[in-house]
Amino acid sequence: MSQPLSPIARWGDSAVRIERAYRQMLTWAAGQALDGTDEGMAACAFYQAGVYRHRLMVLRDVVDRFHREKHQGDPIPAFYDHLSTLAEPDLAAGAERCYRVALALAPGFAEARYNLAVIRQRRGALEEALLLFERAARGQPHARARAHSRLAANAWWVSAEILTRLGRPDDAEAAYMKALALLGNFGVYHTAAADFLIRRRPGITAAEHYERVMPYSHLHAQEFLEPDFLPAETVPVDPAGRPCDPLVPSMVAWCAGGVIYYWLHLYCLVPGSLGPVTARDLETALGSRANPTRWSSRRWTLRNLRVALARETLLS
């Protein structure tokens, strides 16, 4: 038996430590009647937790901009105050942590890599973001990606924009051509390619791309086009309807046997008489089941704890 990990509160933002902790929890729970130990399902859960924070980050930016530019006497939207209660103050850092954990669990998760690139670009780490976008473009999207998702095309397009900012026009043109080979029209944003080409070599090629802007078209925010996840890959919602944080035990159901908590994409049935539990409690409980001698001195154990990868398994 490997050495027990530090309590989850001390894992910090290290994606590698969280990923190892998740695998350790699965190892400790191996005595349970689990349906499988596919880390890809947990990766999907952390990705969804990241997208939730990512959405709030963009929404907060919009509301903050409105608040800065409002005139004296303009009403302050009630949602402005409510927004601060929805997630941690540094949403970008929270989203980045979730995406990095998803990639630690599933290194080939192209959607998570794309979204991490968006966050790193936002934070000014252009070289790192470029590498992430290029790897995402060459990666394999989720098997249940949306039909209108154009991850590779969007990744090459943003790569071209970054390469232009970095003063690498030849590489930028190559990236634009890769994007356009995958998606011929980027809507109103297509002018960026036309402007770039007309600076490089004025003529018919640039004119053709200006003409592509004319038809009506859509360009979606790729980072928010989540795959159509299977139930086993979907992060549950809390009683308020918000996606659960995989790092924080959340009550998601009640049954005759007690309360079901969601944690690290595991479902833990805790006897209802024990009251609210913490991540440290659950870690200790799983550790004591796997190695009773080492953990016997801990103050809190759950000898009747049941663990499953699906909530329905505990409800049946």
pTM of the model: 0.79
- pLDDT value for 287: 73
Strands 306-308 and 258-263: unpaired
Predicted local confidence at residue 4, as pLDDT: 35
pLDDT of residue 272: 73
Q: Supply the mean pLDDT for the chain.
A: 78
Q: Is 124 exposed, middle or buried (0-12, 13-18, 19+ CB in 10 A)?
A: exposed
CB atoms within 10 A of CB 16: 11
SS (HEC) of the chain: CCCCCCCHHHCCCCHHHHHHHHHHHHHHHHHCCCCCCCHHHHHHHHHHHHHHHHHHHHHHHHHHHHHHHCCCCCCCCHHHHHHCCCCCCCHHHHHHHHHHHHHHHCCCCHHHHHHHHHHHHHCCCHHHHHHHHHHHHHCCCCCCCCCCCCHHHHHHHHHHHHHHHCCCHHHHHHHHHHHHHHCCCCHHHHHHHHHHHHHHCCCHHHHHHHHHCCCCCCCCCHHHCCCCCCHHHCCCECCCCCECCCCCCEEEEEECCEEEEEECCEEEEECHHHCCCCHHHHHHHHHHHHCHHHHCCCCCCCCCCEEECCHHHHHC
How do residues 190-225 score in pLDDT, each as one tens digit?
677 777 777 776 665 666 666 666 554 555 678 888
Q: What is the mean pLDDT of the segment spanning 25-46?
A: 68
Q: Decide if pLDDT at 37 tops 50.
A: no
Q: Is the pLDDT of residue 232 over 60?
A: yes
User: Above pLDDT 90, what percent of the chain?
Assistant: 28
For 90-137, write each residue's pLDDT tens digit: 888 989 999 999 999 899 999 999 999 999 999 999 999 999 999 999
Q: Does residue 154 have a pLDDT over 70?
A: yes
Q: Which of 152-156, 244-248, 290-294 has the lowest mean pLDDT?
A: 290-294
CB 39 within 8 A of CB 23: yes
